[in-house]
Amino acid sequence: MSTPPAPVKDSSPGTETVPADIARRGPFSRANLIGTLLGSYLPLIIAVLVVFLPLLWMVLSSFKKPGEIVTLDLSLLPAGLDPENYRVAMTTVPFGQFFLNSTIVTVVGSSIKVLLAILTAYALVFVRFPFKNAIFVLILVALMVPPQVSILPNYILIAGMGGKNTLWGIILPGLGTAFGTFLLRQHFLTLPASILEAAEIDGAGHWRRLWQVVAPVSLPTIATVALVTVVSEWNEYIWPLIITDKPESMTLPVGLTLLQNSEGNGAGWGIMMAGAVLVILPILVVFAMLQRYIVAGLTQGSVTG
């Protein structure tokens, strides 16, 4: 029988002996490299490919002609970068009106939702009032309830108020954000009480403490909530589809449905792919602009000391 390697002794007080094979294992040893590749890089590459390949296929298909898509001899790359599909997509339906409607709904709706989330989270953490914990529990309950449950009551309410085929009818039912309130509340709880106490000693009220102390130090988390809200508002499909049936009040996701109905045959796949690219492109620009804030907001509080 082979004897195990002798342990390497360390004379430093409080240290333990380490087996010789582990002590000789450097950062670039075969075991470490294989463990890193199988445990880190391989799952990461697979996850990236699962997300990226459909998007790549969509972008490449938006430049293909009908004969290159509806065929048994599929090819990844298009024969040429012909922007004809984009021109047809923007002229077949009122694409400019859809884009304007989506921009208004997203900017107004997300701004109000983020503002309400900040005010609500601040009140739940720094303001004393009765039944505060019960209200927070109700917010958590709202976070767990699927939004589809409230579609019928919201439709009856908004239609009764005359909000059908209007932009405010699209915006109003979704102004409350339980997720944003929860995330900001949890972040506000990690703020040191000393900075709030110093502001209170200087005579700052709740309004000044919120916008001059709490909001500036919470900017990464607020940016994270803002991005999630913007993406949700921009991609919202079910509620705008139900509350609108006229092109002048439709948003971009609903407009794609109208484009699909007008290009229902096989020749319209490239046109629909071009329309989908035009829908997701603004969100990619917003994500690129807020990326550094998002990373900081998601990792904030993970390091203590």
pLDDT tens by residue, 178-227:
888 999 999 999 888 888 888 878 777 888 888 988 998 888 889 889 88
The overall average pLDDT reported for the chain is: 81
Domains of the chain (ranges; CATH) run: 17-61 (no CATH), 84-299 (1.10.3720.10)
pLDDT at 302: 45
Residues 226, 110: contact at Cβ < 8 Å? yes
Helix (H, G, I), strand (E, B) or coil at 193: helix
Residues 244, 254: contact at Cβ < 8 Å? yes
Residue 304 clears pLDDT 70, i.e. is over it:
no
- CA 168 to chain CA centroid, Å, is 23
Residue 21 clears pLDDT 90, i.e. is over it:
no
Nearest to 258 by CA among 284, 229, 237: 237
Residue 16 clears pLDDT 90, i.e. is over it:
no
**DSSP annotation of 287:** H
Let me know the angle formed at the C-alpha of 231 by 155 and 164, rounded to the nearest 5 degrees.
20
Residue 298 clears pLDDT 70, i.e. is over it:
no
Helix (H, G, I), strand (E, B) or coil at 150: helix
Integer Rg of the chain from CA? 27
Nearest to 141 by CA among 187, 181, 110: 181
On whether the pTM is more than 0.75, the answer is yes
